Structure 1
Amino acid sequence: MYGLGQGRSDAAVGEQGDPTAASDRGAVGPVPADQTDDGVVGECPEQNDEGCDGDAGQDTVQDGTDADAHVEAVSDALVATGLDPTLARRLARAQAAAEADGVVLTLTSGKRTAEEQEGLVVAAIKRYGSKREASRWVLPPESSAHVQGLAVDVGPTEGALWLGEHGLDFGLCRTYANEVWHFEALPKGATACAPMAPDSSSGW
């Protein structure tokens, strides 16, 4: 099992397959902001007239400050790369809060083309010596959340661990136990992340 390195060169082994083959497509660095994380892990982030809304508070710009405008700009830039708008907003807010905590949180891989994903599958099989072992770290294009723009890989290691601890506050969930860097959006209406799968092999 390989860990994350530093900055954009972190090549998450997960769906990125070969750590040397990670794509920086859509990578956006840390967002400086004076936001703080005031969410409560495991609880509904905000109530509305219909009860708990899993997207409320996680996807909206709150104060109209310059920092909020910057977060929105980063989110827009991520969406322009093909990343899902909800996921982009949540990641941008998490980056801002991480920066406020003195933690660098960088996107290392987001939206991928089917061709890029297939290349990672080939590289992973070559690296790990078998399709069975590679399947623990990479999914084929037809089942990859990255290809759908619904997953992000983050780094460096400190940033990934920070997001693992605080991700639910922003509606972000780590999905695989063997990948500290891979996150997807909490489904609308959900109040807690689903249990992590051991690895990605069940997606084949």
Structure 2
Amino acid sequence: MAVKIFKVKHDFTSYSLLPEKNNTFFNLKIGKGESLSEQWNPDWRFYVRNVIDRDKGSFYYISPSILTFDKILLKGGLEVVLRNHGEFLESILEDTESEIIIYNPLKMYDCLDFDNTTFETDEVGGDITNIAVDIHAFDLEKIGDSSIFKLPGRYVHPTYVVTGLHDEEKDFYLQYKKLDLTGLDFELVWSNE
């Protein structure tokens, strides 16, 4: 069975969102696999930045560590994929008053195969430190039941998706393609082929 792992990125052809002035969203510890629901304020609003030169898209950019989309997409099959693996934080898109979802992935899998992963390093305080993954290698047995996950121990916590490991209805990548959604890019970082 072909298994592929992608790093999820925003394609920047769709809307980028910014929090309104009194919104303290960026003070939260986003993207670290920790729940934000206790600190979340559903009255926080976001507005579109550079609306003139962007398409609406299915997904919006706020931060590389989370996914943001219109609430209506949950009815299209995304809820089944995402529900048990992260939290849906509701908010409002100021420009249209539409409900949006800030999806905070909570699954962290320590699934890097360190013997075959190459890191970008830098000297920090006289010590050589791994600062970023240069070439990924994964241990599939350490990936759990979620097709969307993060890696622990990284300063910036990108979101990853695995395809070919789970049933189609639980495979975020396949559902994204099947529903013809837009706003995200998937950078292939590893394959078992």
* The two structures share one fold, judged by TM-score above 0.5: no
Q: What is the TM-score when the length of structure 2 is the normalising length?
A: 0.31
Q: What is the TM-score when the length of structure 1 is the normalising length?
A: 0.30
Q: Rg larger in 1 or in 2?
A: 2
Structure with greater strand share of residues:
2
Structure with greater helix share of residues:
1
